[in-house]
Amino acid sequence: MLTYLLDWLGLLLRWLHLVAGVAWIGASFYFVWLDNHLLAPTEPDDSAAGVAGELWAVHGGGFYRSQKYRVAPRLLPSTLHWFYWEAYVTWLSGFALLCLLYFWRAEAYLIDPAVAPLDKPTAIALAVAALLLSWLLYDALCRSRLGRNAAALGAVLALALSAEAWGLCQLYSGRGAFMVFGAALGTIMVANVLFVIIPGQRELVHAKQQGRAPDPAPGLRGKQRSVHNTYFTLPVLFIMISNHYAMTYGAHHNWLVLIALCGAGASVRAWFVARHHASRRGGRTPALPAILGALSVLAVILALAPTRGQGSGASSREAAGLEPLSAQRIIAARCTPCHAQTPTQPGFSAAPNGLIFESLDQLKAHLPEVQQQLLTRAMPLGNLTGITEQERAVLLAWVSQAAAP
């Protein structure tokens, strides 16, 4: 019953995380787009009132006119809308999922003894430390003299995050490392909102209410962090879906895959931002960021492509002598405890992805997926059932035989 209830908790948290994330990312993308499409006001009275730019749009059967002030309007409106709960709920629900799946069941999702012999408390403590240190280092770099040079700061941040990606992949299972890295990026993003962006906006409001000139520094810092957040968005979204694709986190050099695809996401987002600027100026959008992103993805696809003969597992002599009964025994001992109509492995109330492997015929219906999971060592999950390398090789050889025409 506990496992069943935890599954429902996981489902509801995922749902909340997705809804809040859509709201946060949607608002973020919209305001970045809006900021980069503002044109000079056409009415002299608007310019005199401090309007820096405006935009007309049509949506939902009506016309909208958005205006942005250089600093603030003469009088603050009685109703002022803020955008921050979307960010906070996204992070809180995401951290709750991290605790529920990757900390509560660290032995299955976070720890891989073949990567590093970590006990559960140590693995969790290191993951939490990674989240905190990621923010502290990032924030220190942004506040340093380096923060005044956007290109130099971007290069140093890219190197630091690449080092973190490598380090996490030396500590955790591929799936766990990817998720902790994504949580670190998400922590940076929400901390930007909590500690920099929203305080800067509150200072602006308070200064107007008190009739004093606002300090422009908090607003400039908030703008910088908002730009960073928009570049982090696509890498975080990739990591959110990566656990469905063992070919990425299960790759031999999974840290390179993580760096390359996160870099590709940031490059694509940079291209969209550049496109916004070019649209406002009436110029051409530089194609380099999009090209770099596409080349990074293509390079990963080619690097991970299976080679001829890969996945045979055992030698040809061993494979020739395999009997279905040998494979059946391995499947019954190492796969069926989770992949059964009624799983016997603690922590599972239903078969993962609904896949039942109680007979060879059921497994044969999913040979490509089984082969991929075995090759990438994504299954058995956390090697909970203790499959040996010899058993993995034998099972891979049988799968190759069964898949042969």
Higher-pLDDT residue of 93, 342:
93
pLDDT band (50, 70, 90) for residue 86: very high
- Given a contact cutoff of 8 angstroms between Cβ atoms, the answer to whether 160 and 141 are in contact is yes
What average pLDDT score do residues 393-399 get?
82
Q: What is the pLDDT of residues 262-271, one digit of tens each?
A: 999 999 999 9
In the structure encoding, which two tokens stand for residue 63, read together?
A: 């016309």
| 350-369 average pLDDT score | 80
pLDDT at 312 over 70: no
User: How high is the pLDDT of residue 309?
Assistant: 56
9-50 pLDDT, tens digit per residue, is 989 999 999 999 999 999 999 999 998 889 999 888 888 888
Indicate if the pLDDT at residue 363 is higher than 90. Answer: no
By C-alpha distance, which of 74, 99, 32 is closest to 277? 32
Tokens of 22: 């859509």
Contact 65, 59 (CB under 8 A): no
Please count the CA atoms within 13 angstroms of the CA of 254 that sit on its side-chain side.
28
Q: Is the pLDDT of residue 148 over 60?
A: yes
What's the pLDDT at 320?
A: 44
Residue 80 vs residues 33, 65, 76, 201, 270: alpha-carbon distances, Å: 21, 16, 8, 11, 30
The pLDDT of residue 324? 55
Task: Please answer whether residues 177 and 258 qualify as being in contact, where contact means their C-beta atoms are separated by less than 8 angstroms.
Answer: yes
How much is the pTM?
A: 0.84
- For 50, list phi and psi in degrees, rounded to 5: 100, 10
- Interatomic CA distance for residues 28 and 233, integer angstroms: 9
For residues 102 and 299, what is the distance between their CA atoms, to the nearest angstrom?
30
For residue 58, the cross-strand partners are 63
Tell me the C-alpha distance between 183 and 130, whole Å: 9
Q: How far is the C-alpha of 183 from the C-alpha of 236, rounded, in Å?
A: 8
Q: Which of 247, 390, 392 is nearest to 331 (CA)?
A: 392
What distance in Å separates the CA atoms of residue 248 and residue 256, rounded to the nearest whole number?
A: 10
Q: Where are the alpha helices (DSSP H) in 305-349?
A: 316-320, 324-334
Q: Which of 268, 273, 302 is nearest to 288 (CA)?
A: 268
Strand runs labelled E in 8-143: 51-59, 62-69
Residue type, 232: F
More confident residue, 339 or 15: 15
Return the amino acid letter for 276: H
> What is the band of 72 on the pLDDT scale with cuts at 50, 70, 90?
confident
Query: pLDDT per residue over 218-271, tens digit each?
Result: 888 998 999 999 999 999 999 999 988 888 998 889 999 999 999 999 999 999
